[in-house]
Amino acid sequence: MAATWKVSTMERTLSDSESGLEGVVNVLHWQVVDIQTVGEGDDAVVHSGRCYGTVSLEAPDVDSFTAYADISEADAISWAKAAIGEEQVEAYQASVASQIELSKNPVSAAGVPW
């Protein structure tokens, strides 16, 4: 399965005195997740990976401003990825894949022998 990006919440100013715009989103809380199931039925094991973070956005262009009520999740994800940068987006996705591989093939363990 491919990594899935989500925006869990958006911080915004209710009224921006400089631009006169309302509902200007300035911080996005994002996550990227992936899940892989190995086996079937009672033998199925679910392996998952997740990265979470926040990213600040630059002030919007007044001419292309999207009203808060009109922002779609796809818009927010696109803005988050653009603000994070392509190289870091790929690094987060690679981290999620690495977490899944480590879950499938652990190199350490914790516990007690009794």
Confidence grade of residue 1 (pLDDT, cut at 50, 70, 90): low
| Location of structure tokens 């200007």 | 24
Q: Residue 50: what pLDDT?
A: 98
Strand partners, 47: 36
H/E stretch holding 54 reads strand 45-56
pLDDT of residue 16: 77
Other CB atoms within a 10 A radius of the CB of residue 96 amount to: 21
Structure pTM? 0.87
Question: Strand, helix or coil at 99?
Answer: helix
β-pairing, 4-15 vs 45-56, is unpaired
Distance CA 114, CA 87 (A): 46
Q: What is the pLDDT of residues 6-52, one digit of tens each?
A: 999 999 999 877 788 999 999 999 999 999 999 999 999 999 999 99
